[in-house]
Amino acid sequence: MLLAPVIWALAIVIAYLFAAKTWWFPPPITQHGHLYDAQFMRTLVVVGIIFFLAQAALGYVIVRFRNNGGRAGYSHGNNKLETLWTTATGVLFLGLVIMGTKIWAGVHFDEAPPDAIPVEVLSRQFAWNFRYPGPDGKFGHTDLKLVNDAAGNPFGIDPNDLAGKDDIVSASLKVPVDRDIKLILHSRDVIHSFFVRELRLKQDLVPGMEIPLHFRAERTGIFEVPCSELCGLGHYQMRTTMQVMTQSQFDHWKEQQAQQ
Ligand SMILES: [Cu+2]
């Protein structure tokens, strides 16, 4: 008999923690983030109601069919009811997936606008590097044989290619606010994962692949970029920051970098 109130109490506490947003994400900083959160809330409300009803019913069944000394009876179940709730679950899940597909595809399938600022992202055990084309707007040629972390050339930029002379390499991501950013994700060794909570984006970086990812931040600030794929012993320290700055701060930063 005690089990039923324990289950009800647990269900109420869990529902409260979600409803009161006790442990919640940091607020989103992109349009995509707002859409994502809205879809997340829709899903949470739907499954939350079902969870709550199911736990209430579970407690009721425990009380109703407890051992009170009688003989146990055999029940074959109810095929009609089972068909009904399986179909309802299927429709619900498919509906949520169809509603969310557009939001997901808006980032992963749709191309970045043509005026988006390109940034090459290189992940390696266990660090991040970011490369910007200099004033010429072109990335220089790279060669694996020229990769030299100790000499500050993690990308292997070819010194003989003029287009690469003004490329900017940074250990943290800097982007201007209210501008489309197109990341081009590379990995040099194993699978890593680019993740910024406030962007509501997570994308694996796969060796041998170039994976584009675009976003547009609408608020300045400094946000953590942890690697979110267990990528080896030093995984825990593979983190950097993304700084969203005003356009003039960004231009100033690029100028400073170009002089070095
Ligand atoms: Cu990693």
**DSSP H helical segments within the chain, as ranges?**
3-19, 31-64, 79-108, 162-165, 247-259
**What sign results for the dihedral spanned by CA atoms 46, 52, 57, 58?**
positive
Confidence of residue 166 (pLDDT cuts 50, 70, 90): confident
Contact 131, 186 (CB under 8 A): no
Cα of 256 from ligand 1 centre, angstroms: 29
Confidence of residue 109 (pLDDT cuts 50, 70, 90): confident
Cα of 226 from ligand 1 centre, angstroms: 8
Cα of 124 from ligand 1 centre, angstroms: 7
Contact 154, 168 (CB under 8 A): no
Cα of 123 from ligand 1 centre, angstroms: 7
Cα of 77 from ligand 1 centre, angstroms: 50
Contact 221, 177 (CB under 8 A): no
Cα of 189 from ligand 1 centre, angstroms: 9
pLDDT at residue 201 greater than cutoff 80: yes
Q: Which stretch of 20-24, 182-186, 222-226 has the lowest confidence by average pLDDT?
A: 20-24
| pLDDT given at position 260 | 64
Contact 154, 169 (CB under 8 A): yes
Contact 123, 239 (CB under 8 A): no
**CB burial class (10 A; 0-12, 13-18, 19+) of residue 163?**
middle
| pLDDT given at position 108 | 85
pLDDT at residue 24 greater than cutoff 90: yes
| pLDDT given at position 73 | 84
Cα of 129 from ligand 1 centre, angstroms: 12
What are the helix and strand counts (H, E) for the chain?
5, 10
Mean per-residue pLDDT for 45-49? 92
Cα of 83 from ligand 1 centre, angstroms: 45
| C-alpha to C-alpha distance for 248 and 173, rounded to whole angstroms | 16
Cα of 159 from ligand 1 centre, angstroms: 28
Position 130: which residue type? Answer: F
Contact 139, 251 (CB under 8 A): no
Confidence of residue 72 (pLDDT cuts 50, 70, 90): confident
Share of the chain above pLDDT 70, in %: 100
| pLDDT given at position 26 | 95
| pLDDT given at position 6 | 95
Cα of 187 from ligand 1 centre, angstroms: 9
Cα of 246 from ligand 1 centre, angstroms: 29
| C-alpha to C-alpha distance for 109 and 104, rounded to whole angstroms | 8
Cα of 244 from ligand 1 centre, angstroms: 22
Cα of 231 from ligand 1 centre, angstroms: 5
| C-alpha to C-alpha distance for 47 and 149, rounded to whole angstroms | 48
**Over the chain, what is the mean pLDDT?**
92
Q: CB neighbours of 150 closer than 8 A, spacing ≥ 6?
A: none
Confidence of residue 200 (pLDDT cuts 50, 70, 90): very high
Mean per-residue pLDDT for 184-205? 95
